[in-house]
Structure 1
């Protein structure tokens, strides 16, 4: 079993991180390291708090956890540090700001969402009741029509042609 230095591991992990965003199989083939080893390294790096996306090469394909981690990392930064961070990671500042906004509003709107959900449920129940009334009315009309038709077919006088 090969042992790799910490510097080598970090250099390889940088290829998985933004802005390069190479996939584990690509890096494994290029570096001659097994994919399983790279997956383990990536898992350990994530546990240490590094941003190493697993899906897609674009930041929009990142998981919520990875986006949240970026928001946490950038929160205490000055504008200059934030800009440098975005350049280094291949991100647009607008993306990170949108992620930050989503994080901030995640729990703030729960009461509003509950209210909207109740209103939608109430409107849906009202619609269902209206449809059920209409169905009952049409069932009655159909029954009356069927009764009239059955009377005509049993009464030859009303149906006779001149």
Structure 2
């Protein structure tokens, strides 16, 4: 069944915040299959429209939805931003947090590389210290073994020392 563009636009508007009607409920209300509604939503999202998942809460938004909201709100003044947020069912503080997250996302490689380099340097220092300690202990063990062998040889040649058991 073909639906008119006006009907399709009206149904898509019901998916937008602040309504954010879940697909199952919208399917029952409108008499349109859930699959058709999901397809319409996917097509609209591919065109760049902000259509969150069926969950009405902001937690249900994908990172793409949040990025789209940040982009849409970037050029708005304070009054327009307030109106935009009311229509979308979000808070201006959330937009600010998402914007900061987007800005930090691009620095991930640089910060991750620096952190990995620091950890690698610390690991090398720790390995070197452990190797020194192991060498010292091996040396001490070899010396103790040599003393035991010498003691046995001396006991075999001259007999046990005074106060030693045989």
Q: Where does structure 1 lack aligned partners over 5 or more consecutive residues?
A: 148-162
Distance of 1:128 and 1:29 partners within structure 2: 65
Q: In structure 2, how many angstroms separate the alpha carbons of the residues matched to 1:20 and 1:136? A: 70
Deviation larger for 81-90 or 70-79? 70-79
Residue 39 of structure 1 is matched in structure 2 by 38
* Aligned structure 1 segments of 4 or more residues deviating by more than 6 angstroms: 132-142
Change (3 A) 1:21 1:133: farther
Q: How far 1:102 moved relative to its partner?
A: 1.7
Q: Is the 8 A contact 2:21 2:54 kept in 1?
A: no
**What is the TM-score when the length of structure 1 is the normalising length?**
0.73
Counterpart Cα distance in 1 of 2:20 and 2:139: 66
How many residues align structurally? 154
RMSD of the alignment, in Å? 3.3
Give 5+ residue unaligned stretches, structure 2: 146-166
- Name 2:58's counterpart in structure 1: 59
CA contact (8 A) 2:23 2:34 kept: yes
Aligned mates of 2:105, 2:20 — CA distance in 1: 28
In 2, the alpha carbon distance for the partners of 1:103 and 1:63 equals: 13
Residues 16 and 132 (structure 1 numbering): CA distance in 2 closer, same or farther, change over 3 Å?
A: farther
Q: Which of the two has higher C-alpha Rg?
A: 2
